[in-house]
Structure 1
Amino acid sequence: MENLKSYLSTISPISEETWTAVSQLFTFEQLNEKEFFIEENKYAEKIAFLEEGCVRAFFTNNEAKEYNKQFFVAPSLIGAYTSLLTKTPNLIPQQALTECKIWIADFNELEKMYELYHDLERLGRKIAEFYFLEKEKKELEMALQNATERYLKFRKQFPNLEQVIPQYHIASYLGISATQLSRLRKNLHTVNY
C-alpha cells in the first residue's frame, strides 16, 4: 500500500490524516490476465490503483472489431470514470493484459470523503484533469500524426510494453493493422542499421 501512497503524493500531496482515512477504503486483489476490471454495459462502482501489470481500455464496433483506446501501465489508476460519474452503464471495458496487482476502493465511499478532506478533493480534481489532458493528447495524435510518429511516441510513452503484450493490441491502439505495424517496425529497423 506504500506504493499507492507514493503514487497519490506525486499527483497532489495529502496529509497523514487523509491518508489514514483513505487507506482504509482500499483492499488488495489480483487480476488475472484477460480478466475484466469492468465490463461493457455494467455499472462501475470501483476505482483501483494498478500496482503491477498492464490493463487495456477498449471498445468494440458493430462488426465486433476491438479498438484499444488506452493502456494503463503500473503505477496507474484504473476505473470506468464516465460510468462512475454519470451513473450510466460502462461503454469501455477494462481488461488485464498481464497478471495485475491492484488496490480497489468503492468510488462512492471515496467521493464522500471529499467533504471531510479537502486535500483529497484536490487530488480527485488533479486526477480528472490529468485524464482529460491525456484524452485530448491522444485524440490530437490520432488526427495529426502519421502511423510512424504515433508508433515512436507509443514506444517512448510505454518503453517496455512491446515485450509484454501481443502486437495486435499495439496496432489497434495506433489505429493501424497488425500487418502495417509489422511493416512499420521492419522499416524502422532497416533505417537504424
Structure 2
Amino acid sequence: MIREYLQSFNILTSSEIDDFLALCTPREMNKGDFFIQEGKICREVAFVNSGIVRTFFTQESGEEVTYCITFPGALLTAYSSYITAQPTVENIQAITAVELLVIPKAPLTALTQSSVNWITFLKIMAEQQYIELEKRLLLFQKEKARKRYQDLLTHQPDYIRQIPLQYLASYLGITARHLSRLRKEILL
C-alpha cells in the first residue's frame, strides 16, 4: 500500500522508493496504544497500513478533544513537534488495532540530501497538511454538524462505525447525544 501511495505522486523513482522502504520499520499498536503522548518530542513519521488513529489534546477541564482521525493509506506524525523538535501538545492514539510503517526523522532527512525528489515530496506533504487543516477549519466555520457527519460518511463509510461515539462526536464538535440524533435522522 505504501509503495502505491508514494508512486501516486509521480516524483520518486523506484529506486528512491526502495531506499525509503528499506528504512521503514513495521510497528503494531493495540487499541488504546499511543504513537506519541503530550510532552514528548516526535522524531518519526508513520504510514498507516491498517487501523484508525485519533489525534487529541486534553483541555484544562480534563476533557479530551479529538481533532484529527487518520485512516489507512495516510501519513501520521505530531507535525509541529517533528518540525521544531519541541515537546508536542497532542496525543496520537490507536482507536483500533493499527499496523504502521515507521521511519525516524534522521534517515528521512538523509534521503533529502541524496535526491531533490525527496525535498519536492516533503514539500508536497507539508502543503497537503496545510490544505487539510484549512479544509477542516472551513468545514467547522461554514458547515453544520449534519454536513460534517455526512462528509465523513461519504469519504470513510467502511471505518465510521469503528470509531467510538465519544471520539467521533468530539471530532465533529458536537455532543454524543447530538451525534446519536444525527445518526437516527440520517438512517430514516
Query: Normalising to structure 1: TM-score of the pair?
Result: 0.93
Question: Structure 2: how far apart are the matches of 1:112 and 1:88?
Answer: 20
**Cross-structure match for 1:20:** 18
Give how far 1:187 is off.
Answer: 2.0
Say if 1:112 and 1:187 are closer, same or farther in 2 by CA, change over 3 A. same
Tell me the alpha carbon deviations over residues 12-36 of structure 1, each in whole angstroms, 9 at most, x when there is no partner: 4311221232222101111111100
1:181 is matched with 179
Alpha-carbon offset, residue 149 of structure 1? 1.0
Corresponding residue SS for 1:11: coil
Deviation at 1:84, TM superposition (A): 0.7
Counterpart of 2:101 in structure 1 is 103
Match of 1:31 in 2: 29
Q: Give the aligned length.
A: 188
Q: CA RMSD in A?
A: 1.2
Once the two structures are overlaid, the 10-residue window that deviates more, 154-163 or 44-53, is 154-163
Equivalent AA in structure 1 for residue 86 of structure 2 = T
Q: Is the 8 A contact 2:53 2:95 kept in 1?
A: yes
Q: Residue 24 of structure 1 aligns to a residue in which SS?
A: helix
Partners of 2:10 and 2:67 in 1: CA distance: 26
* 2:81 counterpart of 1:80: no
- Moved segments of 4+, more than 3 Å: none
**Which runs of 5 or more structure 1 residues have no equivalent in the other structure?**
none
Query: TM-score, length-normalised on structure 2?
Result: 0.95
- Give unpaired runs (5+ residues) of structure 2: none
Q: Distance in 2 between matches of 1:178 and 1:144?
A: 21
Letter in 2 for 1:83: S
State the alpha-carbon separation in 2 of the partners of residues 142 and 65 from structure 1.
19
Overall identity of the aligned pairs, in %:
29
Counterparts of 1:43 and 1:94, CA distance in 2: 12
Matches of 2:62 and 2:178, distance apart in 1: 20
